[in-house]
Structure 1
Amino acid sequence: MPTIQREHAQLHYYLDDFTDPWRRSPDAIVLQHGFSRNGNFWYNWPPLLGREYRVIRPDLRGMGASTADAEHYQPTLDVLMDDLLAILDHEGVEKAVYVGESFGGIMGMQFAHDHPDRCRALVLCNSPCRLSRRESQTPGGSWLATMEQGGIGAWSAATINFRLDMRHADEGLKDWYIAEMDKTNPEFGQALHRYLDSLDFGPHLKDITVPTLLLTGDESPTTSMEQQQFMAAEIPNSELTVYPGLGHGINAIYPEWCVDRMREFLGLQS
C-alpha cells in the first residue's frame, strides 16, 4: 500500500495493476471517492479494470489510511489537487482517466479544468456541481450536530438514502457502507462538510475541455436530473447517460454498467 509524505499529511492510495508486465506505460485510471469515504469504496471496480489500467484509488487526506494534522486540516480543492498531482507524479503517470463519485467528481471537475494536459477523460458518477443544504431532514436537525454527537457513522445511517438507493442495494452493502464511513474522524468530516456548503463549480463547467461522461440515476435525491442536464449542457464535450428508476449510488450498486458505459465512451473518443 503506497504512501507519500506531504506537508501536514501522509497520503495512502491503493494501486491495482494487473496489466501485462511488458507494457512499459499502461494507461492509468484514478478512482476518487466522495465525502468522508475512502478508496476501499471502489473495491468492486479494480476486478473490472485491472487488466487494462493501472488503477489508483487515493484516500483523501484524513480519510481511510491517509492521515492529517487536525490543526492544519484544510480540505480545499487546491490542497486536494496538489495531493492528487503528487500521487500521479509518484507513480510516473503523465495522463489519467479520472473517475469520481459525488464530491470526488467535483474534484475531478477541478482536475480537468486546471490540468487538462494530465486528464485524458473525466467520468462523473452521481456528481453534483453544487450541493443544496438539507440539514432539516436529518434527525436532530443538523448534519454537523449529528456528526459531532454520533460520529460519521450515525450521520451516514441517518442520511443513507442520499447515498444509496435501497430499492436496488443489498442490506449488507448498506451496513458495510455505514461502518466504513464511521472510520472517518468526525472532526475531518465536519470540516469538509462546511467547505462543501460553500462550493459551486457551476460557473466553471463551460471551461472544461476534456471529454466528460456523466453517469447518474434519474431519481437521485442528491444529483437531480435538472442539475445533471445543466452540467451536460455546460460542459462542451460531454455525454449524459442515465440509469432509469435508480436513485443515488450508481458506482457502488452497478459497477459493471458504469464500466461498460465508460468503455463505450472512451472508445468513441479514441
Structure 2
Amino acid sequence: MSGSSREAAGSFSVAVDGGAIPLVVRGAGTSALIFLHGWSLDHRIWLPQLRDDALADHHRLIAIDRRGFGVATAPPDLGREPDDLIAVLDRLSIERAVLIGQSQAGRVALQFALDHHDRLAGLVLVGAPVAGFHLPASEEDVPVERYRALVAAGSIEAMRRAWEAHPMVADTPAAAAILADYDGRDLLAPPPPAGPDIARIGTIEAPALVVTGERDTQWRRSVGDAAARALPRGRRAELADAGHLCNADAPQAFNMLLADFIRSAGL
C-alpha cells in the first residue's frame, strides 16, 4: 500500500465529491474489508469488528462515516456512495475489497457490486433491504416519513427518541451513543433511490453472505432469504439472540462467521 504509516493504521479523511469522508483503518493483511454502517449510525457501530485482533491480524479493516452521517462533510446522497468507495480504494491502493453493508448501506454495497464488479472481492449484507419486496401491512419497518417530518419541524430530539424506541435499534446498547449524535441532515435531503431490485442482483458473481439476526423483523429476514437465493454464490446465515444490528448484538459470533466466510470463499 502506498501512503504514509498514518494511512496504514489510524484515522484520516478522503476527499470525495462535495466534501470528505473519514476513515478508520486497522490491520495490515493482504485482503481489505470495508465496513459500511446503517442509517443514522456511523463507523462506531463496527468497533466490535475493528477491535477484533484475529480479524486485524489477517485483514485490513476499514470503516467509514458515510456521506451525510457521522463527521463526514460530504452531503448525503446515496447515489454517490459507490463512487465514494472507489475514491477510498484508490486512496489506499486497494485493487479489490470485501464490502460489508449493514442495513441501508447494503443498498450501497449492492449498487457498487453492479457498477464496479471488477473492484469487488466479496459481498456481505447485514440486515439489508432489497428493492422489489412489499412491506407487509401488519409490520412497520422504519417510519421514515414520520421521522422526516419531525426533523423538518426542528424536532430532532423527538425524532431521536422515537427511533431509539424502535425495535430495530432499541435492544442494541452500542447504538445509543451514536444515535445521540445523529443530526438528521439526510432526512432534509431528497429521498434516496430505492436501490437495486432483487431481479438485478442475480448478475453479481462475487461470493456473498447474507446475515440477519433472529430477532430482526420478519420482513428483513424474508428479504435475506430471497437475496441469498438470488445471488449466484450467495450463502445465508442467521445469528441467534441478535437483532437488526447483529454485528453489535453478537459480535463474537458475527466475527467468526465473517472470518469463516472469507476463508472458505478463498478471499
Which bin holds the TM-score, normalised by the shorter protein?
0.7 to 0.9
Residue number among 184, 187, 192 corresponding to 1:186 in the alignment: 184
Q: Percent identity of the aligned residues?
A: 23
Please tell me the residue identity of whatever aligns with 1:12: P
Displacement of 1:246 in angstroms is 3.8
Displacement of 1:200 in angstroms is 4.9
TM-score, scaled to structure 1: 0.81
Instruction: Tell me the SS of whatever aligns to 2:227.
Output: helix
Q: Cα deviations across residues 140-160 of structure 1 (Å, max 9, x unaligned)?
A: x81212333322x54343133
Does 2:161 match 1:163? no
* Matching residue of 1:216: 212
Structure 2 vs 1, CA of residues 204 and 189 (structure 1 numbering), >3 Å: closer, same or farther?
Answer: same
Displacement of 1:177 in angstroms is 2.2
Instruction: Tell me the SS of whatever aligns to 2:48.
Output: coil
Aligned 1:222-241 pairs, distance under 5 A: 223-241=219-237
* Matching residue of 2:243: 247
Give the total of aligned pairs: 249
- Supply the distance in 2 between the matched residues of 1:113 and 1:39 (Cα, whole angstroms): 24
- Supply the distance in 1 between the matched residues of 2:141 and 2:14 (Cα, whole angstroms): 39
Cα RMSD of the aligned pairs, angstroms, is 2.8
* Matching residue of 2:150: 146
- Supply the distance in 2 between the matched residues of 1:203 and 1:234 (Cα, whole angstroms): 8
* Matching residue of 2:259: 263
Structure 2 vs 1, CA of residues 206 and 262 (structure 1 numbering), >3 Å: closer, same or farther?
Answer: same
Displacement of 1:215 in angstroms is 1.0
2:107 and 2:195 in contact (8 A); partners too: no
- Supply the distance in 1 between the matched residues of 2:58 and 2:226 (Cα, whole angstroms): 32
- Supply the distance in 2 between the matched residues of 1:178 and 1:47 (Cα, whole angstroms): 19
Instruction: Tell me the SS of whatever aligns to 1:110.
Output: helix
1:218 and 1:224 in contact (8 A); partners too: no
* Matching residue of 1:104: 105
Which ranges in structure 1 are unaligned for 5 or more consecutive residues?
20-24
Displacement of 1:74 in angstroms is 5.3
- Supply the distance in 2 between the matched residues of 1:200 and 1:83 (Cα, whole angstroms): 18
